[in-house]
Chain A
Amino acid sequence: MILEDTSPPPRSQIRARSSKLSAYLARSLPLYVMMLPGLIGLILFSYLPIYGVALAFQKFNPGLGVLKSPWVGLANFRYLFTLPEFWRITRNTFIIAVAKTITLQFFAVLLALMLNEVRSRIFKRSIQTIVYLPHFLSWVILGGLMLDLLGSTGLVNQLLRQLGAKSIIFLGSNTWFRPVLIITYLWQEVGWSAIIYLAALTGIDPVLYEAAAIDGANHLKQIRYVTLPGILSTVMLVAVLGLGSMLDAGFDQVLNLYNPVVYPTGDILDTYIYRAGLVSAQFSLATAVGLFRSIVRLILVATGYWLANKYTDYRIF
């Protein structure tokens, strides 16, 4: 920097500009070199897939490839919208995702409030340690566990029989499949989701509680008038950002728990795309469903972030 300032003024404007540029490059070239691997990865795996979207407008033939397959315009979509299955999987996806999100956030707030009232540090930490654990296990492991637990010889049905009730085929019943998805998801994620609320609770100024107590508020009133308003903005933020996951019904979970019997209530966009595309090789149909999903999802995510930006001070960076 100092050297630059004391250097003699360049003879011509052009030389000045080029030397400025070369000085900038000498200083900043490493930044571009560092950026290279990430940029290549981003282009390959976030932008190159866009060419695959072309399949949705083609009668794709794997032998001919994307470039030579015949174009059919919107025919795939027209066909798709007449399929009763398509509306079924869209409805299932939406119902499951919304039910899961609302249940999870409700119980996460409740768990955080309860943990917040615990005075014993050891007790609090042990409970936290236990409830966070399932978040780190894959749905292959959890699915194996649930298939066993909820199966006809599983522990849950043993218990039902002991209580004199009939056994229930939970994972083979269209009445039970959605509740099972919601409850097992709750079991996996409730602890993890409570973390953000616990953080918000520790952020509440203790002076507010003291002031409320002096004004005669009992503990319940303190929760009502200090604690709840204190985490309201976090709840709003999570709700708004949760908009983006309204089409995310949990591919890993459903794929590992469902079977053809529960397709009417449990088949979702993602599992349908997987089966149509990678199992039955109907690439064009699967891509059309995928594109529909991607566009709706993008609109929801963008709306969520826009709202978060507008009504809270949330920013991703």
Chain B
Amino acid sequence: MIEDKSWGWRTFKVANYIVLSIVGLICLFPLIHFLAVSFSDRAASVGGLVTLWPIRFTTASYELVLKAPLFYQSLIVSAQRIVFGVSLQMAVTILTAYPLSRAARRFKGRNFLMWLLLVGLFTDWGIIPWWLVIRSLGLMNRIWALVIPPAMSPISVILMMNFFREIPQELDDAARIDGASHWRRLFQIYMPLSIPAIATLTLFSIVFHWNSWFDGMVLIYDVNKQPLQTFLRSVVIGLDTSYLAMPQRMQEEFLLFSERSIRAASVFLAIVPVLVLYPFLQRYFVTGIKLGSVKG
């Protein structure tokens, strides 16, 4: 763009920087405020004295949450669902995307399967039929209820397939003529060339499993088997901190935290993993957007 040096334009540019800075601050403000509350003592957090900086800094709320057995229990469930859920989803996605990326004449039935997938993508029969199916498969109250149903994700299959289709046909032809089987082509040509796409979908799958709470709420009734976000919901939305309460707290310790700071601390502990993944997510979600817009 050619630079415009008129006064009006310069004023606009300055205003633009200021407005964008304000937008950024508004986005961050609630998070920083809540972080400050989580590190403040009882009087400050209950009395509403905290804005952006902790008052009478204490880590008591975090210590309390981290000592609660249910917090640990649910963290382990979340870790399990991520390990099983993400690997299963990625395996199913890659295995389904490869045959569908073939030409219809090389894979008879491809177009029919593609239609099946698209109809599956566009229809949503609602939560009651979904719940009944999972119940009749005998998955209720087991970790598999959180792992198996999301394993087949039509949208990630389509994104993966689009990526496979972008890989030059010549590579595939050369390998086929040299006698490489489909398995070998998938593992030795397609997968190594699709690392960015696989990384993107894996990251999104991790975030999906980490953030899911509704399935844990309606498919798992045993509190000890619920994932972290479901447990967290009973604390921060249901406003029930009794799960965290420890018997026989000392009086001076009691002055250090409040229900409010406990809620803030639990929210922050749940944000930490997302923050850790965030730089990678940022690196890859541009790939994700491209994946979505590629036309095959």
Residue in chain B with minimal CB distance to A157 = B48
Provide the bound-state CA to CA distance between A163 and B133, in Å: 54
In the complex, the answer to whether A283 meets B128 with C-beta atoms within 8 Å is yes
- Chain A residues contacting B236 (CB-CB under 8 Å) are 140-141, 143-144, 147
- Chain A residues contacting B106 (CB-CB under 8 Å) are 28
- Chain A residues contacting B113 (CB-CB under 8 Å) are 35, 39
Q: Which of A34, A115, A130, A131 has the most CB of B within 10 A?
A: A34
Give the shortest distance, in Å, between A218 (CB) and chain B (any CB).
Answer: 6
Q: How many of chain B's residues touch chain A, expressed as a range?
A: 35 or more
Provide the bound-state CA to CA distance between A2 and B176, in Å: 11
In the complex, the answer to whether B34 meets A273 with C-beta atoms within 8 Å is no
Provide the bound-state CA to CA distance between A132 and B24, in Å: 10
Q: How many pairs of residues, A versus B, come closer than 8 Å at their CB atoms?
A: 264
In the complex, the answer to whether A118 meets B127 with C-beta atoms within 8 Å is no
Question: Looking at the complex, which of B9-17, B53-61, B64-72, B193-201 is the stretch in contact with chain A?
Answer: B9-17
- Chain A residues contacting B151 (CB-CB under 8 Å) are 37, 41
Given contacts A144-B263, A294-B125, contact A137 B274 (CB under 8 A): yes
B213 contacts the other chain (Cβ, under 8 Å)? yes
In the complex, the answer to whether A52 meets B128 with C-beta atoms within 8 Å is yes
Give the shortest distance, in Å, between B140 (CB) and chain A (any CB).
Answer: 12
In the complex, the answer to whether B99 meets A32 with C-beta atoms within 8 Å is yes
Give the shortest distance, in Å, between A259 (CB) and chain B (any CB).
Answer: 10
In the complex, the answer to whether B120 meets A218 with C-beta atoms within 8 Å is no
Interface size on A (CB < 8 Å)?
Answer: 97
Given contacts A117-B13, A118-B17, A143-B237, contact A138 B162 (CB under 8 A): no
Give the shortest distance, in Å, between A103 (CB) and chain B (any CB).
Answer: 15
Scan residues 262-276 of chain B and give those whose CB is less than 8 A from a CB of chain A. 263-264, 266-267, 270-271, 274
Residue in chain A with minimal CB distance to B294 = A317
Question: Looking at the complex, which of A6-14, A42-50, A80-88, A91-99 is the stretch in contact with chain B?
Answer: A42-50
In the complex, the answer to whether B161 meets A138 with C-beta atoms within 8 Å is no
Given contacts A31-B107, A111-B23, 8 further A-B contacts (CB under 8 A): A39-B113, A115-B20, A127-B20, A145-B267, A155-B30, A155-B51, A195-B285, A274-B127
* Chain B residues near A (Cβ < 8 Å): 1-2, 4, 6, 8-9, 12-13, 16-17, 19-21, 23-24, 26-28, 30-31, 33-34, 37, 46, 48, 51, 91-93, 95-96, 98-100, 102, 106-108, 113-114, 116-133, 137, 148-149, 151-152, 154, 157-158, 161-162, 176-177, 181-183, 186, 207, 210-214, 218, 229, 232-233, 235-237, 239, 260, 263-264, 266-267, 270-271, 274, 277-278, 281-282, 285, 289, 293, 295-296
